[in-house]
Structure 1
Amino acid sequence: MPRFLKTSAFRLTLAYTAVFGLSVLLLLTAIYWTTAQNISRTIDEAITSDIDALAQHYNTRGLGGLVEAIERRTGPANVSGSLYLLTDPKFRPISGNVSAWPANATEQGSWVMFPLAGDGTEAAYGRAKAFRLPAGFHLLVGRDTRALDRFQDLMAEAMGWALAGTLILGLGGGALVSRRVLARIDGISRGAETIMRGDVSHRMSTTGSGDEFDRLAATLNAMLDQIERLMTGIRTVSNNVAHDLRSPLTRMRAQLETAVTQGGSEDDLRDTCAAVLAEADGLLATFNALLSIAEAESGVRLKDAVEVDLGALVEDAADLYEPLAEEEGLSLTAGPMAGVSVHGSRELLFQALSNLLDNAVKYTPAGGAVRVSVLPPSEDHGPVLEVRDTGPGIAPEDRERVTDRFVRLDASRSTPGNGLGLALVSAIARSHGAALELDDAAPGLAARLVFPATEKA
């Protein structure tokens, strides 16, 4: 038996064909009533769908777009008996193929039957729905019912042929659809096997039709892109960790080896232990920073988010760093303070602000100034936390990459640090829906945490 005959798609098509055939047989006993009901419902749904489409034209393109859409629908290609009438607030026609507004179309959203100007050979009526547009305009959308009347007359004869055609086409279509579905599934399966063999750069192919399989392939490709980015990030972080840990571990080993092989006085051994402890503290600081970045990116600590007063946050951070700034010969000021708050983790936001202040104090030369402030929200964004200094700043071409892990610019190589401070700030900002912006303070650097604008109710 061919494989497609065993597929769920073919069995579903076969079952649908059988049920539909049985339904046709049952419908033959009450063909006129059933046909009238089904066709009337179909017409009503088509009218409602048409109304939604025209309303969308009006909402997006205004009155001119609506008039254009109606004229296109009432042109020579209008063979479906569609009826349209757009009037001004005084019911004077603007566009459409109905000469005048029906007298019985008085209620908003009401269905009406009204006579049409026919050729005299048969009665002509239209079924339509009327509603009022913004600015007082009125729109009537409907269908000519003569096609329905003629269709009912032909239905009895057509149903016999339709039953036979349904069975034949249903089975043939089931085989065709099953083959097509099976081919698409096989393509996805082959792609998955390629990826399982280690080629993570492979992506599922799409046909451009936008069907369910294309959407599935696009979803899988997006997932694979994210996995590849994560794997690249893991490799990068692993390489950077190995590179940044090798030097301090080598120094620790050399110091301990010297102490073991050469001995020395008690003071020498104490100095060696102190140096090793300092190196160990640096390693712990690096791992703690990496853990903090991972924690911020995971959003775990945002589960218990609260309203954070940014003004109070800035005051606390300024109080903490003011003694250090004075020790370095800097002036640290706080203000202005906009009375705003954001929803988030106070601990994480305090950590981000502390990192920015630490960098500002660390890289600003003696005699310089550091200012931390809260800027009010605007139409484009929410509140802003800003740390501005008079230090050397960051070159424009380096401002994007300094937020990557373990990136240290040449000018900061002689300054203690692990290259994770701004990466942590950026991760905390993203977890709060904010953005870290680095700009020229002329002189110095202006580092800003820009929070998103609050949606208005």
Structure 2
Amino acid sequence: MTLHWRSTSRRLALMVSAAFLLAFMLLGAGVYFAVSHLLGKDGQDVLRLQTAGLLDVARSGGLPALREEVESRTEQPDDPDSAFALWDANGRLLAGAELPLPLPLASPPVKGTSRRYEFVDENTDDDAHTMAQATQLGDGSTLVVALRTRAQDGFRRLMLQASIAALVAAVALGALLGSLIARWVTERLRALDATAQRITAGDMTQRVPGDGSGDAFDRLAQRVNSMLDRIGGLMEGVRAATDHIAHDLRTPLTRLRNRLDDLREDTPPGSSQRTSLETAVNDTDQLLGTFAGLLRLSRIEAQTLGPDAPRVPLWRLLEDAQEMYAPIAADRGIRIELAGADADTPGDADQLFQMVLNLLDNAVKYAPDASVVRLALHSREHVVIIDVADQGAGIPEQDRLRVFDRFERLEAHRGSPGSGLGLSLVRAIATRHGGHIELRDHGMSDASRPDSSRGLLVRVTLPRAAA
């Protein structure tokens, strides 16, 4: 669960939900206390008005008139929640209900001294909360006016229950809102991540989709697309320059090679000059092969695969590649194993065959003697997977992207034959066919060979032909 909430979108959802819930709680608490304060103030106003009315009666008619008024209001109350009591200076009830008195208001008694207090009226069925005001009169007697707050308490309980229900709804709404925000952020970032992943796999034609809203995500998509356009333009310029050089130099190199070959034929066998000429012819052939590979790579990158591309049976193609490389591998005691099941992909059979040959060539070249090279074909719901695995030294993870660049060769392989275009050609063919290529550790070390390494797995994923 901890790892689940470590993602930025999840934390954002949690913060939004918490902020929404906190704001709702503060608002609800503020409303509750404000309403409670207003209800209490209204009750105090009622006590003050009723006390003032009874004091007016006392001033005009004296204590007998006040006593009669208290008895009258007690027997025939205008408000069932109001109660009245009149006590003499000795604490005897003169009229009204037996309401509890607070501590002595003043000693000796001071006319007009008042005190507000609260108590629970145990004489009622619901033990109603009661607020009261006691006022001392000139002869030491005390007038008590009380107000049961049943209606106010009921309103507070109802408001509290409604607040709790609203809080539960707010928690659910906050969680839903946070989840929607997290999903929205994740979806906006998923398009960027998917595009970056496809570009990392070698498809430089991908672009981040925008929605035209002009928000931060849309501006980020535009910046990334502008950056990709710039990188694509630079790469295209490098390719164009390389292709022009290869095209322009191929003809004079071919003439040079033919002249060197003629000189070699005219030179006596076994002489040092003939040996030098043979070396020069071989070097020229290697240069011509490199230029031919560059031009072939350029043509493949410029081609597109049409919707009417023929179906290519990959199993037969892998069998032919195995049969072609088996004698070469056998010279070093290497065995090529083929496994899997047949599957078809739309595309160019010659290019796909060249792709598999290049992968087998690398695997056999860098595999140790008397080891195994495994060639496998798997099919899934919408894709087919070609795996080529060896038991060689492998490729460090930090170098697995740059080995697909043109002429890129690792330091450990500088002395081996080759032009550094093999994996570039493989990636170009895979990209042209709507697939991608990745390099992994294979873990197929040979237990009988303590010095065998983990090996390298090259995986090419291609779209599966529709039934």
Tell me which interval the TM-score lies in, with the shorter structure as reference length: 0.3 to 0.5
TM-score when normalising by structure 2: 0.43
Determine which structure has more spread, i.e. the larger CA radius of gyration: 2
TM-score when normalising by structure 1: 0.44
